[in-house]
Every structure is written in C-alpha cells, then in structure tokens.
Chains A and B, each alone.
Chain A
Amino acid sequence: MRKIKSSLTVIVLVVIASCTKKDIVNTTAPKVTTGLYSLNQGNFGANNTTLTYYDFGTSVATTDYYHNVNGFGLGDTGSDFIIYGGKVYVVMNVSGNVAVADALTAKYIDTISFISSGVNKGPENIVGYGSNVFVSSTDGTVSVIDTTSLSITKSITVGSNPAQMAISGTKLFVSNTGGFSAQFDSTVSVIDLGTLTQTGKITVGTNPGSIAADNSGNIYVACTGDYASVAPSLVKVNTATNAVVLSADTAVGIVRFYNNNLFITGGYLGAATVRVLSTTDFSLVKSNFISDGTTVINPYGLDIDNATGDVYLGDAKDYTASGTVFCFDKTGAKKFSFSTTPTASPAKVVLIQH
C-alpha cells in the first residue's frame, strides 16, 4: 500500500518544490557550565514550551535544551520555574504538571501531575522554602511538594485563582486574582511556613498579580485592576502588621525588588518600559531603566541577579515571533542578548549556581 501511495504521491508532487528550512534549530546539548536557563512559554495549544540554556563562556544559546537532553518536550505553556536544591522545577500550566529535572544536566527526573479528579488544577507559580517547594494553582490552592519524595504532601486553600507568590521572613504571600470569575479577588493570602496553614488574608486592591518582597519585611503587590473602571495600582504591605502602608495608581505588570528600589514593567495598560521606583514613596527614580537606547519591544520577563544587579528582560514581541532575552548591567547598559528561536515569549530567567 505504502508503495502505491508513494508513487501516486510522487506523480502528483513532482511539480511541487519542497520547502527549504530557513533557520536550523540547534539540536545539540552542550554540557552545562556557568550560564542560565530561560523559560520560553511558546503558544497556547502548541506544546512548544522550551527551556533555553545560555552559556556565559561560549555565549551560545541552546533553545529546547530540555528536549535535546531528554528527547521529549515539556508540553504546553510553562508559566514559571525555579532551581531549588539541585533540581529544576518547571511549572506547566496547561499540561497540568511540574516537570522535575537535574539542575546541572536538565536530565528528566520526574513529573508531578496537577491533574486531579479529571480537572487540571492549573499550576501557575513556584517558590522554594526549607524542604518544600510551593506551587500556586488556579483552582485556589497552594500545593506543598516535598523535594525528596517529589510528591504533593499538602494542599493549602487560599483565595480565587491565585497567581504569584513571594516569601518574606517565615511567611508565604500569595496574590489571589479571581481572574476567572466575573468578580475579581482583591486579597493576598498569608501562609505560615512553619504550620503550612493560611493564617489570614490582606485586602490590597482589585486583581492582585505580581508580588515581590524586600529585605525589610515589606511586600509589594501589583494590582491589575478590572481592565475597565478600576485602575491598576501598586501597593506596599508591612508584613509585621499586614497593613497596607502605601498605595499608588500606576500600571504595573511585573514588580521586582533590588537594592532598595522596585523595578517594574508597564503591564497591560502601561508603557513598554522598565521603570525604577523608590520603595519608600513610589517616586520615580528612573523612567526608563535602559540607559543605552536598546529597544525592547515588549518586556515580558523581568528578573534581577541579586549578586550583581544584572537585569534580565524577556522580550515577547508579538507573542508569536521568537523572543529575545536581554541582559543589562545595573546601570542599564546592555551586556548581551540571545534569541529564544524558535520559541516565543521568554517569561523567566534563572541563573545556574554551582
């Protein structure tokens, strides 16, 4: 049968020029030395989330490093990842799992499923503390994963559709968006990392999303608003009293803390730049962090190396074209950049520590 088919096809396809591949995807897997991983989300429904390994020594970016090492892909729409205790944990939101691999080789170790009773819990964000990693899920829970057994040992109920998390002291703060419902949530859940229970909720503002902790007991929450009448805002919370101590109407996508300043992207309604704000009164320190004129079309990932002050920006462009990851030094001058081709939407960068 196949033969007949082939000849039929040949007859018909003779005239047809075959397509030439333009870019050649790097399919090698160089040994991990010093460098970073970039999580590139890809496109919804396309099973094309990738992990790029960028080598500081060779300046070579190997996209889909995870696939090259393991022979299979991560799946659909990775939303977050961390390196913790020698392992890399990749949160796959649409595939509904957390993929665990060796941090230094990217070799697959296990998959922790977040599909329970026929429902994908929607794992979203991940942080590590003690012997656990914590994963927030859209179904209103934070799952506690033991880093030795790689199993979910506890599920802590928080608010509606939790998104991001930050640790301050011995407490875990979780922003509850309520983004799936007609009515947004407006709270941040407080989880005691000793008892692993929710001890309270702080009302911060409509649709809280990105969240960052400083080194003096405060957290900063970006409230996205309702995309209509309620404007986006940035809120500062004192974690000793759980009281909102500062609030300002400003459009914030991602908020990060470094060296007594906040680094923020404009998000949904704001400008496509990275601003620097003072933590004390949210006054503008720099309206554009980038000082050398480098163009970043759509800042989508924002991560800061606390040791050096290097700022990593993931440029998602139009969310379908290949993304670019930029590294800037703390003065805002570009150090290097690499393409995440063929994958779109670089969302997070994590440095590989030996």
Chain B
Amino acid sequence: MFIRRNILYIILTTTQLLALHTSYAQQKDSSASLKKVTVTAIKRPVDFTTAIPVQSINHEMLQQINAESIADAAKYFSGVLIKDYGGVGGLKTISVRSLGALNTSLLYDGIPVADAQTGQIDLSKFSSTFVQSLELSEANPPQILLPARVYSSAAVLAVATNTFNTNNFTQKKWQAGIKQGSFGLWQPFAAIYLPASKSVVISANAEATWSKGNYPYYIDNGMFSQKAYRTNSDLKSFQGEINIVKQFKDSSQLQTKLWGYSSERGLPGSIIFFNNISVQRLWNKDFFLQSRYQKKISEHTSLLVSAKYSSLFTKYTDPNFLNNAGGLDNRYTQQEIYVSAAISQKIGKYFSASLASDFASAHLSSNIVPFATPTRNTWWNSIAIQYARRLWQINASLLNTNVNDKTKTGSAAVNKNEFTPTVAASYKLNVESPFLFRAFYKNIFRLPTFNDLYYTYISTINPKLLPEYSKQYNVGITYSKNFNTALKQFSISVDGYYNTVKDKIIAVPSQNLFVWTVTNLGKVHIKGIDVNAEANGKFSSAMKWSVRIAYTLQHAEDVTDPTSTEYKNEIPYTPNNSGSALAVFYYKSWSAGYSFLFSGTRYTLGENNPANELSGWDTHDVFVARMIKLSHFQANIKGEINNVFNERYEIIRYYPMPGRSYKISITFTNL
C-alpha cells in the first residue's frame, strides 16, 4: 500500500475536521427562559398553512428540549437527519430528506451562512440559548421578499435570534444564567438589550462552553471488549454577538450584527480496536459582520438590502502524523463578501412579484503546499411570483446561478450558468375548512466544494466534477383546527415526497484506502412521508399541556449501476423510520416534559449486508422546571435527565453517543 496518506487526512480533515467528534457534555439548554410559559396558540400555526412544508421550533420549546446547539433542536424536525459525531464538540450537520448536508443552507437572522470549503455548516457552532425561532423550509422559505441566494439550496434552516425584536425592548432588559451538566459541562451565558434612544436598540449576548466530554462507552470485540472513556474530547468555546437595530421614521429598519465564535477542541476520532490514541486538535475562529436594511418604499413596494463579510479560520493539528515536519499543522482561512438587493411589488389584488440579485466572492487560503488558493465568484438572480386567491395560491420562482472559480495554481474547475425553478401551490375547499392541500416541485443543484475540487493530488482529476443535481416533488395535506375544550388546537400535516439526485458527488478511495478521489458517482432515488402533528390545550387555567410529534418514513436507494451489489440498496445512514416526540405539562409556575427521539436500522455503507447494519436507537429525556418571581426579575430553574435509559447508541458508526446524563440550569432575567 503506498501511502499518500495526506489525502486521507485531507478528506478526513475536511469532512471530519469540522466534522469530528468530540465530547459530550450534554444537554443543552434549559434555563434561559421558561419565563413566558403561556401557551400561545390562538392562531393556526404557520407551519400548517404554507404551500411548501415548513416546520418550526419556538424559543419556549428550545428551552424545554435537550439542545445545546440548534443541531440538537433540529433533530425534532421530520425528514431530517442530523449527523452527530457525539458530544458537545462533535460535528453536527443537517441533511433534509436524504439530499445531504451540502444541500441545506442556513439563514442567520435573514442572511445566509456559507462555507465554500466544506459546503456544510457545523450547526454545533450555533447556540440555541438566544434563538427566538428555528424554522426549516423544504425548497424555499414561504416569504416572497428574499435574497436570491436563499433559493440556491434544497432546504433552508432559518435561525431568528431574539435581538431584532424592537417591540420588546422599550426598556433595559437582561438575562444571565448558567448550565451545568455531566461530563464536565459548564455553560454560562448573558445578554443585555439597551435602548440607546427611541429608535435604536443595542444588544449584546455571549455564551461560553466548557466540556470535558469524557463520557463512558463500550468497545465490543470479544475477549478484548471493555468499558472505556472518550478521551481528547474536550471543548472550550466562546460565542458572542453585538447587535444594533435602528428604526427609521418611515418604519424602515437597519439591523447590524457582529457575530464571533472561537473554539478549541479535541477530535477523539472513531473507536479503533486496539488503538485508543487520540491527539488531533481543532481550532476555529470565525466572525461575520452583517447588515440588513428593509424599507417599505410604498404601500405595494418593499426593498431588502443585505451585506455581509465573513472570515472563517480553521487550524487542525495532528502531532502524531508521520511526516518529516514532525506532525501536521494545517491552517485554512476562508473569507467571503456577500451583497444582496431584493425588491417586491404587489400588482393588483392578487398578484405579487419580486426580483433579487446577489453576489458573493469566497476565497480560501492555506498553509498547505502546494495549495490551489481558490476564489469563487457567484452571482444569483431570482424572480419570484405569487398569485394568491382566497382559497388557492400559486408560487413560482426561477433562480439563475452564475459561478466562476479562479485558482492561483492549477486549473480552476467551475464555470457554470444555470437556471433552476421552483413551483408550489396550495388549495383549500372553503375558507372555514381545516384542510389544506399542497404541492411543490423544485430543481436545484449544489456545486462541488473547494474541498471536493482543490485538494492536492486529487486536483488533476477533479476539474471534471459536475454539480450535483436534485429534483424534489412533494404533495401534502394539512389539517389544523381550534377547539373550545381541553384540546384547544390540533394540527397535522402529511407530506409525501419523491426526490432524485444525479451526479452525486462522493469521495472514494482511488488507488488504495489512503488515496481518495472525488467523483460524480451516483444516482439516488428517495421517497418518503413526513408526518408532523401538534396539539395543545388546558385542563384548567392553571394546568396546560402541549404535545408535538414528528415521524418520517423513508426509502433512499442507490440506483447508479445495475451491475453493482449496491444497486437498489439503501444509501448509508438513512433509516427507514425515524421520529421524535415532545410532551410538556404546565402547572402554575411549574413545567415538566418528556421528549423522545428514535431512529430505525441504518447501513453504514452502500452495500446493505448485515455487517454494515447499524442498529436503531431511541433516547428518552425528561425535565422539570420552575419559574420563581422575584421583586424585579425572575429566576428559572430547570433540571434534566437525558438519555434516561442509558441507551448505548451510535449515529455514525464507531462514534459512540453519551449515555445517561444530567443537567441543571438557572437563569435570571427581566425579559
């Protein structure tokens, strides 16, 4: 075996890099604020009224479930697979309806978060503490006034923080607290919202996380089986934001955000039999500055202008790497500038249209020699129309993407100009009907990432890489009704979908297991059903309840090569069944809840033989919380037991997940 192992590590450092594992600290959130424990469900939830399926999690639920980061929360959506390498510091990415993590984009307070190097966002970098809502849209978000780039992925996860809600901040508000849990988790946080003048609010929030992540796991290998503890799985991270909101007299609004994240973590790696050495480390220093200006030019015309500069620095070290330099110390700096302008116009009673034009320039440099040092310039132009009658509506959009790569050394790969459409429609039988029928179609592609294209030694063959195309078809029905009983509101949606992927980009070993190459290999057909249901109500004025369930039935199969033993086998890590449930009871100032996540059997490789089978799992979490009113503020106290039954499981094979763990949190706030 001739070892060009650089490649291996590069592949690993990139998919895993960010990806790697880590520790656990466990349980997440809590605290922050159980304050507004009122069940507000008078209106039908927006999730059940849109032509394109949308699922959301509000602040209250985020505080109830075990969610250190938004990744943990996203596990409660249907149709979603969160790849989780274990622990607080482990990479967590989101794949929607088996289209892959690189086909989902993240919007943070309305502006896309991008990573041209890996093409996927590590959701563990985004705390859930200050999040107001988390919303997952298939295809595109339902709004018409959007940056063009938002149309460029198969699904969009939108994070809205609680910082831009000026209505709430007419006086000085603050919150501060700490979470403490098993495996050395400490997570202090604080936020302050200062009205600087009648029209300006300045706010800042920050959260630090320490986790040892040294949770126990079990190595199962005959007479060499043993109980062990994760090592090199510690995490230290700090994230903070400064926000300024300026409200102009004409009701236009300018929002500016400076976001920063800094972390150091160990990468414990997968469990390797007979070898428990783990010394790889990862550092991240990310920040972005973004601004968003919204103006209603007239009653019928609105403008949205956005701009962003981001810088992502990654350092990866492996002192045991057997090169002449005595170890690896790879550093990557990625910078992106992004601008967007969008305008929407209402024409007549039923018709509206919008135009948007975006540009981004992403640049990646590294201390690796040789390195391509690529720059990618992308232009997105979109047009969207909406025709909305009382009982039915049609939405359509067309996205034009124009991409151009340049490299300092070697050949540049991508030069593309594509048009991709989305069409969606919904229909109601009559105004009072609780039923809504809906359907959508979207055609979109994802570009090869810098990692796919420009890693040394694989670059000679990579320029042939094509974009990966996916088509989505969805039909669904929703039912949503309010009642005047102990059950106040009940909603359910059932969506069936069929997705096709062609030219799927995958990394495969080329010469041997240590030399990898990235190719367009693959056609995948995915069919599935997503079910979401939620209900809430009250037994008395003091006693309320809410329940939420998500379930996914899915079959994603490889249809690349009829002669292969992998033909019509399920693609890796795609369970046929998965789901979640959350039930919460409120009694006066108390609340208690139970949540549940499960996944059926999956395969770890494309050939579905029993050796590649990874058994299903289910975890059960419980919490009790209490709000205590003090003179000028309140205290929220919460205790959690997560993975109550100490389930031993893996989401990714040989990356064990933590067993039973505890967490307590306390928050003081006048919010």
Q: Per-position contact with A for B569-591: 1 when CB-CB < 8 Å, else 0?
A: 00000001101010000000000
Q: Are the C-beta atoms of A44 and B223 separated by less than 8 Å?
A: no
Q: Are the C-beta atoms of B645 and A342 separated by less than 8 Å?
A: no
Q: Which residue of A lies closest to B269 (CB)?
A: A45
Q: Are the C-beta atoms of A17 and B2 separated by less than 8 Å?
A: no
Check: B606 CB closer than 8 A to any chain A CB: yes
CA distance A77 to B272 in the complex (A): 10
List B contacts of A181 (CB < 8 A). 323-325
Check: B68 CB closer than 8 A to any chain A CB: no
Check: B607 CB closer than 8 A to any chain A CB: yes
Would you give the shortest CB distance from B402 to chain A, in whole angstroms? Answer: 30
List A contacts of B608 (CB < 8 A). 22
Q: Are the C-beta atoms of B274 and A92 separated by less than 8 Å?
A: yes
Would you give the shortest CB distance from A189 to chain B, in whole angstroms? Answer: 15
Given A177-B2, A347-B1; A321-B607 close (CB under 8 Å)? yes
Q: Are the C-beta atoms of A139 and B322 separated by less than 8 Å?
A: yes
Given A95-B274, A139-B322, A140-B322; A227-B1 close (CB under 8 Å)? no
Check: A195 CB closer than 8 A to any chain B CB: no
Check: A30 CB closer than 8 A to any chain B CB: no
Q: From residue 1 to 58 of chain A, which have CB atoms closer than 8 A to chain B?
A: 1-2, 4-5, 8-9, 12-13, 15-19, 21-25, 41, 43-48
Q: Which residue of A lies closest to B278 (CB)?
A: A118
CA distance A223 to B324 in the complex (A): 20
List B contacts of A8 (CB < 8 A). 596, 618, 620
Given A95-B274, A183-B324, A319-B508; A138-B3 close (CB under 8 Å)? yes
Q: Which of B509, B565, B618 contacts A9 (CB 8 A)?
A: B618
Check: A85 CB closer than 8 A to any chain B CB: no
Q: Which residue of B lies closest to A119 (CB)?
A: B320
Given A12-B579, A181-B323; A322-B565 close (CB under 8 Å)? yes
Given A72-B224, A177-B3; A118-B273 close (CB under 8 Å)? no
Given A268-B511, A319-B513; A25-B609 close (CB under 8 Å)? yes
Q: Which residue of B lies closest to A70 (CB)?
A: B222
List B contacts of A64 (CB < 8 A). 611
Given A75-B274, A95-B275, A320-B508; A345-B513 close (CB under 8 Å)? yes
Check: A205 CB closer than 8 A to any chain B CB: no
Q: Are the C-beta atoms of A12 and B325 separated by less than 8 Å?
A: no
Check: B329 CB closer than 8 A to any chain A CB: no
Would you give the shortest CB distance from A99 to chain B, in whole angstroms? Answer: 9
Check: B510 CB closer than 8 A to any chain A CB: yes
Would you give the shortest CB distance from A26 to chain B, in whole angstroms? Answer: 11
Q: Are the C-beta atoms of B645 and A2 separated by less than 8 Å?
A: yes
Q: Per-position contact with A for B200-222: 1 when CB-CB < 8 Å, else 0?
A: 00000000000000000000011
Q: Which of B1, B508, B606, B613 contacts A124 (CB 8 A)?
A: B1
Among A80, A139, A161, A253, find the residue whose CB has the most chain B CB atoms closer than 10 A.
A161
Given A44-B513, A115-B277, A321-B565; A180-B611 close (CB under 8 Å)? no
Among B247-255, B389-397, B426-434, B597-605, which stretch is in contact with chain A?
Answer: B597-605
Among A18, A41, A46, A111, find the residue whose CB has the most chain B CB atoms closer than 10 A.
A46
Q: Which residue of B lies closest to A64 (CB)?
A: B611
Among B4-12, B414-422, B477-485, which stretch is in contact with chain A?
Answer: B4-12
Q: Are the C-beta atoms of A182 and B272 separated by less than 8 Å?
A: no
CA distance A41 to B273 in the complex (A): 14
CA distance A16 to B618 in the complex (A): 13
List A contacts of B225 (CB < 8 A). 72
Q: Which of B223, B510, B514, B620 contacts A72 (CB 8 A)?
A: B223
Check: B515 CB closer than 8 A to any chain A CB: yes
Q: Which residue of B lies closest to A163 (CB)?
A: B2
List B contacts of A2 (CB < 8 A). 645
Q: Are the C-beta atoms of A47 and B6 separated by less than 8 Å?
A: no
Would you give the shortest CB distance from A158 to chain B, in whole angstroms? Answer: 13
Q: Interface size for chain B: under 10, 10 to 19, 20 to 34, or 35 or more residues?
A: 35 or more
List B contacts of A346 (CB < 8 A). none
Check: A210 CB closer than 8 A to any chain B CB: yes
Q: Are the C-beta atoms of B1 and A22 separated by less than 8 Å?
A: no
Q: Are the C-beta atoms of A25 and B611 separated by less than 8 Å?
A: yes
Check: B503 CB closer than 8 A to any chain A CB: no
Q: Which residue of A lies closest to B655 (CB)?
A: A45
CA distance A94 to B598 in the complex (A): 32
List B contacts of A75 (CB < 8 A). 221, 272-275
Check: B108 CB closer than 8 A to any chain A CB: no
Q: Which of A4, A209, A342 contacts B609 (CB 8 A)?
A: A342
Would you give the shortest CB distance from B559 to chain A, in whole angstroms? Answer: 15
List B contacts of A187 (CB < 8 A). none
Among B601, B612, B613, find the residue whose CB has the most chain A CB atoms closer than 10 A.
B612
List B contacts of A74 (CB < 8 A). 273
Check: B348 CB closer than 8 A to any chain A CB: no
Q: Are the C-beta atoms of B272 and A1 separated by less than 8 Å?
A: no
Check: A194 CB closer than 8 A to any chain B CB: no
Q: Per-position contact with B for A160-188: 1 when CB-CB < 8 Å, else 0?
A: 11011000000000000111111100000
Check: A224 CB closer than 8 A to any chain B CB: yes
Q: Per-position contact with A for B499-537: 1 when CB-CB < 8 Å, else 0?
A: 000000000111111110000010000000000000000
CA distance A302 to B611 in the complex (A): 26
Q: Are the C-beta atoms of A76 and B273 separated by less than 8 Å?
A: yes
Q: Are the C-beta atoms of B221 and A73 separated by less than 8 Å?
A: yes
Q: Are the C-beta atoms of A179 and B5 separated by less than 8 Å?
A: yes
Q: Are the C-beta atoms of B3 and A161 separated by less than 8 Å?
A: yes
Q: Are the C-beta atoms of A178 and B324 separated by less than 8 Å?
A: yes
Q: Are the C-beta atoms of A180 and B273 separated by less than 8 Å?
A: no
List B contacts of A43 (CB < 8 A). 513, 605
Q: Are the C-beta atoms of A115 and B275 separated by less than 8 Å?
A: yes
Q: From residue 54 to 112 of chain A, which have CB atoms closer than 8 A to chain B?
A: 64, 67, 70-77, 79-80, 92-97, 111
Check: B271 CB closer than 8 A to any chain A CB: yes
List B contacts of A300 (CB < 8 A). 512
CA distance A160 to B610 in the complex (A): 40
Check: A132 CB closer than 8 A to any chain B CB: no
Q: Are the C-beta atoms of A119 and B277 separated by less than 8 Å?
A: yes
Q: From residue 222 to 242 of chain B, which have CB atoms closer than 8 A to chain A?
A: 222-225
Q: Which of A25, A71, A342 contacts B222 (CB 8 A)?
A: A71
Q: Are the C-beta atoms of B508 and A5 separated by less than 8 Å?
A: no
Q: Which of B271, B277, B612 contacts A118 (CB 8 A)?
A: B277
CA distance A111 to B221 in the complex (A): 14
Q: Are the C-beta atoms of B1 and A16 separated by less than 8 Å?
A: no
Q: Which residue of B lies closest to A124 (CB)?
A: B1
Check: A279 CB closer than 8 A to any chain B CB: no
Q: Are the C-beta atoms of B222 and A322 separated by less than 8 Å?
A: no
Would you give the shortest CB distance from B646 to chain A, in whole angstroms? Answer: 8
CA distance A43 to B508 in the complex (A): 11
Given A94-B275, A228-B457; A341-B653 close (CB under 8 Å)? no
Check: A207 CB closer than 8 A to any chain B CB: yes
Q: Which of B579, B581, B653 contacts A46 (CB 8 A)?
A: B653
List A contacts of B325 (CB < 8 A). 181-182
Q: From residue 125 to 151 of chain A, which have CB atoms closer than 8 A to chain B?
A: 125, 138-140
CA distance A77 to B8 in the complex (A): 13
Q: Are the C-beta atoms of A22 and B272 separated by less than 8 Å?
A: no
Chain A interface residues (CB < 8 Å from chain B): 1-2, 4-5, 8-9, 12-13, 15-19, 21-25, 41, 43-48, 64, 67, 70-77, 79-80, 92-97, 111, 113, 115, 118-120, 122, 124-125, 138-140, 160-161, 163-164, 177-183, 207, 209-210, 224, 226-228, 253, 267-268, 300, 317-322, 341-345, 347
The 9 closest A-B pairs by CB, nearest first: A72-B222, A342-B611, A209-B2, A75-B273, A71-B222, A342-B609, A180-B323, A268-B511, A5-B645
Chain B interface residues (CB < 8 Å from chain A): 1-6, 8, 221-225, 269-275, 277, 279, 320-325, 369, 457-460, 508-515, 521, 564-566, 576-577, 579, 581, 596, 598, 600-601, 604-613, 618, 620, 644-645, 647, 653-654
Report 6 cross-chain contacts, Cβ distance below 8 Å, ordered by A residue: A5-B647, A19-B600, A46-B653, A47-B271, A95-B274, A111-B274
With A22-B609, A46-B654, A138-B322 already in contact, 7 other A-B pairs whose C-beta atoms are closer than 8 Å = A22-B610, A124-B1, A163-B1, A163-B2, A180-B3, A180-B323, A321-B566
